[in-house]
Structure 1
Amino acid sequence: MSATMSIESICHDHTNLSEEEINKIIEVSQTIQMTADLSKANIFIDCLMKDGKQAVVVAEASPTTAKPIYENPVIGMKAYESFEPAVLYCLKSGKAMTSNRAITQERKQVEQSVVPIRADEGHVIGALVMEKDISDKLKERAELKALSRTAESLSDLLMDVSDTHPVIPDLIEEAFFFVEETGNLLYSNSSAINLVHGLTGKGCRSGENLVELLPFLEEIIQHPDDLFVTEKEIFNKNFKVKKILLPQNEKYNGMFIVLRDLTDLRDKEKELIMKSVAIQEIHHRVKNNLQTVASLLRLQMRRGIPEESKVYFLESLNRILSIASVYEVILSNSSIDEVDIYELTVKIGNMLVYVEPQAEARVNIAFEGDKLTIESKRAVSVALIINELIQNCMNHAFKGKSSGNIRVTFRQDGDWIKIKVKDDGIGYVASTKPSLGLEIVNMMVEHDLDGEFDLRKVEQGTEADITFPLEGRI
């Protein structure tokens, strides 16, 4: 339906306007888009409804040069007198209303200007409405008003304290000055006096010009913002400087200057950064050294070793590469000492199954569960445990089978981490003498992780369960 047809149908349904008056409304509506773009405001045409108590929106135009007020079209919606009194007043009295407050159909506060639309005979047939969103302006005004009241209350609280009973200023660790806009000192707390003396060797008395004592404060005092915060380095010390300008009134006319010494904090931050870099470098070197050892083992295997020793070389190689994977995960993330054991296990599992497959069967491995992080010390133990369990599956689970599957799952259960390694192989058969791999798993789960290990044959294959606390021993 066209805009013209829309205006015509709404006017027929909801107003008492004649055909000639409706045509006049349509004529005016053809110019409102240009008006909206020029004024960067929403423009509407409202007409009085048949009951004479409310108005209806018959046409609208949203600016293409600014953000519109309304998210949805409002043509055909009612304008109530309680929300938009200026519109109803204009329609009934024929008088223009400018810069009035109103509430839109979407409950936004707007500045509204309304002028009457008259028929050729001179009587009012509609209202041309211009609306601009003032929600942000009202919010800023309220915030400034609240800040002003707070500043006045704060100044009363601070400045009315007697010299013999200082309640607030001397309890503040920061250096606290109250100065005139010229920089003349009206008040300083004990921390401020000590600071000035420490930086300049001079005293700090009321009536002196603070800028002459501390020249770096000149640009702070002269800064145009009522509230200004910056950081300064003076005499090899770091300070956070705040300026709070008080509202102009008969009682007080000045500003607060607050200095906080950040030197120790910044020094500690630098130390932490240097330690972080050093730790990252250590991780990098450990990883490189482990990979070098692995390369030497590979080289030895290529040069020839007894066939019966090959399996032991390969197991040792995988253990070294599993530990190296811990440091690879650390270096690949932003954390200094936290390791995602899900990512770690994926790396180890894929290495054992796809990079250096040892089983005669074609084996697939899958991973599922939560991403869980632990510190690198315990991650090394987890890496070796996962290596031994997957290696055990590869060596024993699929003998005589053409294919097999391994599934590793993770989950956090309260304060515990639970890892399960399950295969669909021939099933675990307990022997009188456990393998070296299972002895390693038992020892590390019990002594390094304070956890429990269980290995058992299930209906289809073997299942290994490792349970250990989320937080390690201190």
Structure 2
Amino acid sequence: MNMAELCRQYTDLSTREIGRLECMRTVFPFLADLAHGQLKVYVPAKVAGKLVIIAQERPHTIYMSKRDSEYGRLQPAIEEPLVQDTLATGMPGKGKREWTYGSLIDMYTYAIHDGTKVIGVISFEVDGDQLQIDGYPCLLATAVDVLNNARKSVEAQQYQPLSSSDGILITDQYSRIVFANAAAQRIYRVLGVGSLRGCHLFDRQLTRHVRRETMERERPWQKELVAGDLTLIRRQIDLQEGGQLVRRIVILSDVTETRAKDKEIRIKSAVIQEIHHRVKNNLQTIASLLRLQARRSQSEEVRQALQESVNRVLSISVVHEFLSQQGEEAIHVQQVMQQIFDLVGRNMADSEFLIRTEYTGPDVVLPSKYASSLALVLNELVLNAMEHAFAGRSSGLIGLSVREDDDHWHLDLYDDGCGLPEDFRPQRTRSLGLSIVRTLVEGDLEGTFALENDERGSGYGTHAYIRLPKPEQEITSDVVQSLEE
């Protein structure tokens, strides 16, 4: 059950009070990180003498040994004297509790109010001996201010969880820094700033190294700064009461290495795109030379063989063309198939012959190392169909049907032509095209290949069945879309 369902089933809280807790839930992971401790929220249960734990969050900013989750547990109130006292008085509490056998940690409790009524208690369980943070009470006071500020709707992304490497600055209502953690001091030390506490947040001493600021329109509270040799993400949270600033939190994330890697990836991607573009151009040049040779040949058989070679070369160039345009190491089989249909129809079919094509099933997205071989396979099968399936006809259909299971793609390239001869034996054929197909499918793609007549019998077309194992890390359309974004 979610928090609202827990509250409705096990407590007497009103709809308004549950809504207030739901609003606050957005900031709970942030509060656990800010306080460097495990967060729990207790509310009184319907059953007398019981408390319900309606939220529990572990911090990302410090290591705490793993314990079983207590979310949704009905806890005897007598076992939580600090929580019970804060519920009764509304006053903060501090004490000790056992974390593991023989190990005690600090526990801080604060009341959650709806108006003047205490509707719950938030607790922070903190290993103070391990923390040793100078000015830790300021962090706790800030966490309480964030909780109170969250009684109204807040922007969830503004309160996204922290990491142990994030710098944290906290100022008073006059923008004077009252707390700076070790990560923030380390960042500013690189920029030549010594002591931070007591400085004004916008003091020239702190901002003089900033060379560029980029503000995101969707996140006006977040900026990307270039200061010295550092690239920083600066997130600012203003806590207000009655329209007046109470406290300001500034979170600094050092993304210097991330941005450098992003730049390196962009440069490599551009180089790879350029290589694919040049390979495509070279392949098209080879195809043009073969066409010239075919025109000069006096033998129809030679011209036919050269034209087939042109198609093979161009089918590979199609893959490189997609890679040069898209800038991603993945290929959509449907797009490659359409290009091959167009190539064959333009280069191999008579002008009066009408070729119809169709594609059914999911769009297969394969890494480029598989795509070139598959493009050659599909090209050979389409060429074979054009050459043998439609003799004496003015039109024909060639299609590709795709289905998948957990481990394999199943491709069925079919036509509505005359079918295979009754004495046809795929293993004994001397066809170069089918030899290429079998070698690529079974050797390079590690799949299986079968060529059969339609189940209705000879004269109803041919099916080329290809079964390919999925790559270990399959590239799906969703992944490609997320990379583009």
- What TM-score does the superposition give when structure 2 sets the normalisation length? 0.58
Please report how far the alpha carbon of residue 442 of structure 1 lies from its aligned counterpart in structure 2 after TM superposition. 0.5
Measure the CA separation in 1 of the matches of 2:404 and 2:32: 50
Q: Contact 2:177/2:197 (CA < 8 Å) preserved in 1?
A: yes
Q: Structure 1: which 5+ runs fail to align?
A: 1-137, 221-225
Q: 1:253–1:157: structure 2 CA closer, same or farther, 3 Å change rule?
A: farther
What does the per-residue CA deviation read over 1:20-71, in whole Å, with 9 as the maximum and x for residues that have no partner? xxxxxxxxxxxxxxxxxxxxxxxxxxxxxxxxxxxxxxxxxxxxxxxxxxxx
Measure the CA separation in 2 of the matches of 1:280 and 1:412: 30
Q: Contact 1:330/1:337 (CA < 8 Å) preserved in 2?
A: yes
Measure the CA separation in 1 of the matches of 2:175 and 2:249: 11
- Superposed CA RMSD: 4.0
Measure the CA separation in 2 of the matches of 1:406 and 1:319: 18
Residue 440 of structure 1 corresponds to 436
Taking the TM superposition and a 5 Å limit, the aligned residue runs for 1:230-249 are 230-248=223-241
Measure the CA separation in 2 of the matches of 1:393 and 1:451: 21
Measure the CA separation in 1 of the matches of 2:340 and 2:390: 19
Please report how far the alpha carbon of residue 377 of structure 1 lies from its aligned counterpart in structure 2 after TM superposition. 1.8
Measure the CA separation in 2 of the matches of 1:230 and 1:468: 47
Indicate whether 1:273 and 2:266 are aligned: yes
- For the pair shown, which has the larger CA radius of gyration, 1 or 2? 1
Measure the CA separation in 2 of the matches of 1:156 and 1:284: 50
Measure the CA separation in 1 of the matches of 2:283 and 2:239: 64
Q: Contact 1:361/1:401 (CA < 8 Å) preserved in 2?
A: no
Residue 356 of structure 1 corresponds to 347
Aligned with 2:237: secondary structure?
Answer: strand
What does the per-residue CA deviation read over 1:370-406, in whole Å, with 9 as the maximum and x for residues that have no partner? 3221122211111111111111112222335555433
Q: Contact 1:227/1:245 (CA < 8 Å) preserved in 2?
A: no
Q: Contact 1:342/1:410 (CA < 8 Å) preserved in 2?
A: no
Q: Contact 2:279/2:320 (CA < 8 Å) preserved in 1?
A: yes
Indicate whether 1:193 and 2:185 are aligned: yes
Please report how far the alpha carbon of residue 277 of structure 1 lies from its aligned counterpart in structure 2 after TM superposition. 1.3
Letter in 2 for 1:292: T
Measure the CA separation in 1 of the matches of 2:30 and 2:438: 70
Measure the CA separation in 1 of the matches of 2:461 and 2:27: 74
Taking the TM superposition and a 5 Å limit, the aligned residue runs for 1:84-103 are none
* Among 120, 125, 132, the residue aligned to 1:166: 132
Q: Contact 2:209/2:227 (CA < 8 Å) preserved in 1?
A: no
Q: 1:164–1:331: structure 2 CA closer, same or farther, 3 Å change rule?
A: closer
What does the per-residue CA deviation read over 1:83-116, in whole Å, with 9 as the maximum and x for residues that have no partner? xxxxxxxxxxxxxxxxxxxxxxxxxxxxxxxxxx
Residue 309 of structure 2 corresponds to 316
Residue 256 of structure 2 corresponds to 263
Q: 1:187–1:403: structure 2 CA closer, same or farther, 3 Å change rule?
A: closer
* Among 272, 294, 302, the residue aligned to 2:295: 302
Measure the CA separation in 2 of the matches of 1:284 and 1:265: 28
Q: Contact 1:323/1:384 (CA < 8 Å) preserved in 2?
A: yes
Indicate whether 1:180 and 2:176 are aligned: no
Please report how far the alpha carbon of residue 294 of structure 1 lies from its aligned counterpart in structure 2 after TM superposition. 0.5
Letter in 2 for 1:412: E
Taking the TM superposition and a 5 Å limit, the aligned residue runs for 1:53-64 are none
Residue 469 of structure 2 corresponds to 469
Please report how far the alpha carbon of residue 466 of structure 1 lies from its aligned counterpart in structure 2 after TM superposition. 0.7
Measure the CA separation in 2 of the matches of 1:403 and 1:241: 65
Residue 415 of structure 2 corresponds to 423
Q: Contact 2:277/2:320 (CA < 8 Å) preserved in 1?
A: yes
Indicate whether 1:344 and 2:336 are aligned: yes
Measure the CA separation in 1 of the matches of 2:26 and 2:462: 73
Please report how far the alpha carbon of residue 217 of structure 1 lies from its aligned counterpart in structure 2 after TM superposition. 10
Q: Contact 2:209/2:228 (CA < 8 Å) preserved in 1?
A: no
Q: 1:472–1:316: structure 2 CA closer, same or farther, 3 Å change rule?
A: farther
Aligned with 1:427: secondary structure?
Answer: coil
Measure the CA separation in 2 of the matches of 1:247 and 1:298: 76
Q: Structure 2: which 5+ runs fail to align?
A: 1-15, 38-107, 109-125, 140-161, 214-218, 475-485
Measure the CA separation in 2 of the matches of 1:288 and 1:203: 58
Measure the CA separation in 2 of the matches of 1:178 and 1:294: 67
Letter in 1 for 2:379: N
* Among 198, 202, 211, the residue aligned to 1:207: 198
Q: Contact 2:168/2:249 (CA < 8 Å) preserved in 1?
A: yes
Residue 367 of structure 1 corresponds to 358
What does the per-residue CA deviation read over 1:217-250, in whole Å, with 9 as the maximum and x for residues that have no partner? 99x9xxxxx993222111132111122233459x
